[in-house]
Amino acid sequence: MTRRRGIMSDRLKYELADELGFSHKVKDGDWGNITTREAGSLVRAAIERAEKLMSQREAGPG
C-alpha cells in the first residue's frame, strides 16, 4: 500500500504554525510536540484560508 500525500503542504503548515505562534515547537519537523488545541487551531486556520481563497476565486477578478 502506498503512502498518501498530505492534503496540506508542509510549507503551509509551517507558515500557519508561525502565524499562530508555535513554530518553535515544530522547527525540527516534529509535529508531535504540539498540543491538541494547537493542532485544532492549525486546522481551523487552514480551513479559513481555503474558504477565503475559494470565495475569491468565485468572485473572479474585478
- Which set of grid coordinates corresponds to residue 36? 491538541
Domain-located, residue 15: yes
Task: Name the residue type at position 3.
Answer: R
| Residue 58 to residues 9, 45, 54, 62, Cα–Cα distance (Å) | 23, 20, 6, 11
Is the residue at 34 inside a domain?
Answer: yes
Is 1 domain-assigned? no
Residue 7: pLDDT band (50, 70, 90) is: confident
Q: Confirm whether 16 is domain-assigned.
A: yes
Q: Cell triple for residue 13?
A: 503548515
Cβ atoms of 45 and 19 within 8 Å: the answer is yes
In the predicted structure, residue 58 carries a pLDDT above the cut 60: yes
5 in any annotated domain: no
4 domain-assigned: no
Residue 39 inside a domain? The answer is: yes
- The count of other CB atoms within 10 Å of the CB of residue 22 is 19
- Which residues constitute the domain of residue 26? 10-59
Domain count of the fold of the chain: 1
Give 5 or 14, the one with higher predicted confidence.
Answer: 14
